[in-house]
Structure 1
């Protein structure tokens, strides 16, 4: 019997969940009151499908297994997993999650795609089964990138997180259970740190957006895609590994290089960033850039799987 993913909110992230679930042979029921939401979603899935086909489609996978409905209550009927993707406003998310909690069967996991809010805050207005309302934060493009951060709140029980892990694994994702809830979870906090530094470099005239992206693409990004941050630095210590690296380069952490606070988003800085990105895009539409990125990620994911097979043994955490 096929499983059903219910998706609430069909922006970029919601549509990414839809494409992934369809590719895994799930039925998908979607609700979004925005005009033309269904038209935009079906165009999104069509654009993503060739990349999903290259990765490998599950038996029965088909865009035809997507159905839009007219109400939130209708959307949750028969759901095995519910994914909320409404705009990142806490009061709005609380309102929608409370309605989902009231309408859905009490054992159904409700994941929020929030990139910043803590699950305890999201659970506040839920009265039926608040513990099953968790953070399930993915990464764009959701239909290709396998990481999903799972975070439970004060009302969440271990069994509910374990049930969520199993469901997201069936969607061919790698669930990372975050040990303690914190704003921004794990990956976004890391990305935001780099993003703040990048904005300062542009603002101070040190580099253009293109030069900064080149520094990542041809430098640290290549290593990070295989080894992440800590293992990369472990190798920087030579035969003695991380201990020698910290002894040698640790004092540099005290140097006033980093600017932890983000620069003020002045009109001048915004113009610099926008003009730089438009120059990099070179007039190519977003859909074309999406396909280029997806083709790259499909090949890169194959390489990661080839060179990091030990990730398969980390079921307890990822």
Structure 2
């Protein structure tokens, strides 16, 4: 059977109903999809329903797609039942490599042959996760940012055995589903946004430890300064929310600073000269798209005013 067009997908499956998995459920429901979900935890369905219910007012405020309804969600008793007939599967199990390897192989065995399967992993490469799958060519990374139902970013990249058409299809599907998809050209530990975020997080910890700045000063410096996301949520509160109901304590207990792969960050910069300098300059010119500095300043100021007004209203 041929793979359905990315913009014509009707039903998706979400495997794993934690903070990230339930966030994906809420997002897909709000975009008008029928969603089947599965989680092995005894309280998986109840937890998922609580998280979706909590997210729904924000999604209603943003505007629901035609036909969007929480009634389009069903929680299946088995993994096979959840993925049966789904054109797309989003796996969001805890980030433990052995668990991911076995679970993705199980999903691959149960899902329709034409379905594309994506993992919400925060750092593992698909090359190391697809080793037990019978059809690894349709497995991709679809890494979101928390909460997936509000933050539009999703980073898409395949492994060594992933077919390019699966990466292209997943990227197009995410875009059709209302996400901002970054299709990466190659695997890199931690992907793009996590590597940037990790570098800033480590520097914030160093500054607190050295007495150079307080937690409040660092968060204020970021929320009042750089970054669209950081305009309303600084790094400490962001990681606090990443801990789910346990908050920052859960985050620090389970993912203490320094426990992540050291390859995630590289704080010594390369020399910006020669071909690298040319690449950076040409990339900026291409992104500007013919707009002058004055044009870009006007556009920047207009958007900053809109953000500031929105924050005042909030």
Query: Do both share a fold (TM > 0.5)?
Result: yes
Which of 125, 128, 131 is equivalent to 1:124? 131
Partner of 1:255: none
Q: Is the 8 A contact 1:2 1:27 kept in 2?
A: no
Partner of 2:89: 82
Q: Say which structure, 1 or 2, has more relative contact order (CA 8 Å, 6+ apart).
A: 1
TM-score if structure 1 supplies the norm length?
0.69
Distance in structure 2 (CA, Å) of the matches to 1:56 and 1:31: 27
What CA deviation, in whole Å up to 9, does each residue of 1:176-222 have, x standing for no partner?
00111011010000000001111111111222212111111112235
Partner of 2:221: 215
Q: Is the 8 A contact 2:36 2:76 kept in 1?
A: yes
Partner of 1:258: none
What CA deviation, in whole Å up to 9, does each residue of 1:214-260 have, x standing for no partner?
111112235976xxxxxxxxxxxxxxxxxxxxxxxxxxxxxxxxxxx
The equivalences for 1:129-168 within 5 A come to 129-168=135-174
Q: Is the 8 A contact 1:18 1:28 kept in 2?
A: yes
Instruction: Determine helix, strand or coil for the equivalent of 1:79.
Output: coil
Structure 2: 5+ residue stretches without partners: 1-7, 232-256, 261-298, 305-314
Partner of 1:15: 22
Residue 32 (structure 2) pairs with residue 38 (structure 1): no
Distance in structure 2 (CA, Å) of the matches to 1:133 and 1:223: 29
Distance in structure 2 (CA, Å) of the matches to 1:82 and 1:154: 20
Partner of 2:250: none
Instruction: Determine helix, strand or coil for the equivalent of 2:227.
Output: helix
Distance in structure 2 (CA, Å) of the matches to 1:94 and 1:109: 16
Distance 1:102 1:214, change over 3 A: same
Residue 195 (structure 2) pairs with residue 189 (structure 1): yes
Distance in structure 2 (CA, Å) of the matches to 1:221 and 1:175: 18
Residue 178 (structure 2) pairs with residue 169 (structure 1): no
Partner of 1:47: 54
TM-score if structure 2 supplies the norm length?
0.70
Partner of 2:207: 201
Distance 1:221 1:174, change over 3 A: closer
Structure 1: 5+ residue stretches without partners: 226-260, 265-302, 309-318
CA RMSD of aligned residues (A): 2.4
Instruction: Determine helix, strand or coil for the equivalent of 1:219.
Output: coil
Residue 113 (structure 2) pairs with residue 106 (structure 1): yes
Distance in structure 1 (CA, Å) of the matches to 2:183 and 2:229: 24
Distance in structure 2 (CA, Å) of the matches to 1:197 and 1:263: 15
Distance in structure 2 (CA, Å) of the matches to 1:212 and 1:16: 28
Instruction: Determine helix, strand or coil for the equivalent of 1:183.
Output: coil
The equivalences for 1:251-266 within 5 A come to none
Residue 99 (structure 2) pairs with residue 95 (structure 1): no
Q: Shift in Å at residue 33 of structure 1? A: 1.5
Q: Shift in Å at residue 166 of structure 1? A: 1.9
What CA deviation, in whole Å up to 9, does each residue of 1:61-103 have, x standing for no partner?
0111110111111111111110111111000000000001111
Q: Is the 8 A contact 1:10 1:32 kept in 2?
A: yes
Partner of 1:234: none
Q: Is the 8 A contact 2:95 2:121 kept in 1?
A: yes
Identify which range, 129-138 or 213-222, moves more after superposition.
213-222
Q: Shift in Å at residue 106 of structure 1? A: 1.9
Distance in structure 1 (CA, Å) of the matches to 2:57 and 2:47: 17
Instruction: Determine helix, strand or coil for the equivalent of 1:220.
Output: coil
